[in-house]
Amino acid sequence: MNIVLTGSIGSIGRPLTEQLVQKGHSVTVISSASERTPAIEALGAKAAIGSMFDTEFLIQTFKGADIVYLMETMEAAGDLFDKNINFIETIKKIGHHYKTAVERSGVKKVVHLSSIGAHTDKGTGIIVFHHHVERILNELPDDISIKFIRPVGIYFNLFSFINTIKNNGSIISNWGGDQKEPWVSPLDIADVIAEEMELPFERRTFRYVASDEVSPNEIAKALGAAIGKPDLQWNIISDEELLKSWLEIGFNEQVAKGFVETQASQRTGTLYEDYNLHRPVLGKIKLEDFAKDFATAYQNDLE
């Protein structure tokens, strides 16, 4: 098949590209950075350099594709410390560009990387943009089939705790405790996307992706053991304290407030309500596997 991927070759895009090429598909990878071209071509894919905000570029790139893979990220909208960006509205614009490009290019099969929490526009904080983009894409004509892939929290989000461990000797956040919650590896996400691309498409479907279910205290224990701090603790602070600390380091206010609300929804469990109704088979990459990557990143940060 002829498959077009947005999102360049990051933590999901690289293994996804590798899998699809190995399976014999013709893969085009969209990137905004021309310097990524050699790396994309080294994977056996074709590079298409352009912007997700350029509808005409997207239309021309999507033409002739059997499947297009769509994703949007906070980073695509801009610098998280830029106080002048409305991230939610900017990402909604990307969704509208995608919708126009899919409709005008003639593509009939879409895989969209969404997120846990996309089932609602209430109480999920900054990740509400995934709900908005799902809604925008659902406005496409019925003859266009869409698979919404909804990963849970991705392991690499835990890298953000490296600084608090270094500076305070503990993990600090506004949620924690012994309640298990789902986490996922980018490799398992790539596996599911590649699998879904070869399965039949039937109008509009969604699928959650998770690798492991562990509690914050279990995470602290595993990461602590991996970095040589077996007594590492996960300490809980208030929403107000966390927000104050993030604003003090210069985060965009919408981003800071949004992340605090997202993490509060983890604490209350509201983020997981729909996931719990549609629990997936867990993937292969467990917390202990990720802990090795965390230890490497932690050590590199110390050097």
| pLDDT, tens only, 37-71 | 999 999 999 999 999 999 999 999 999 999 999 99
Task: Using a pLDDT cut of 90, give the percent of the chain over it.
Answer: 95
Q: Look at residue 17 and tell me whether its pLDDT is greater than 70.
A: yes
Mean pLDDT of all residues in 84-105: 96
Mean pLDDT of all residues in 252-257: 95
pLDDT at 73: 87
Q: Look at residue 16 and tell me whether its pLDDT is greater than 70.
A: yes
Q: Look at residue 218 and tell me whether its pLDDT is greater than 70.
A: yes
How many other CB atoms are found less than 10 A from the CB of residue 69? 29
How far lies 241's CA from each of 114, 159, 172, 186, 294, in Å?
30, 20, 10, 31, 26
Mean pLDDT of all residues in 156-175: 94
Domain 2-155+183-210, second-level architecture: 3-Layer(aba) Sandwich (3.40)
Task: Using a pLDDT cut of 70, give the percent of the chain over it.
Answer: 99
CATH 3.90.25 applies to domain 213-302: yes
C-alpha dihedral sign at 104, 109, 115, 118: positive
Q: Look at residue 302 and tell me whether its pLDDT is greater than 80.
A: no
pLDDT at 301: 73
Q: Look at residue 187 and tell me whether its pLDDT is greater than 70.
A: yes
CB-based contacts of 117: which residues, under 8 Å, 6+ apart? 124, 127, 128, 130, 131, 262, 265, 271
**Range(s) for CATH 3.40.50.720 in the chain?**
2-155+183-210
CB-based contacts of 206: which residues, under 8 Å, 6+ apart? 114, 118, 147, 148, 149, 150, 278
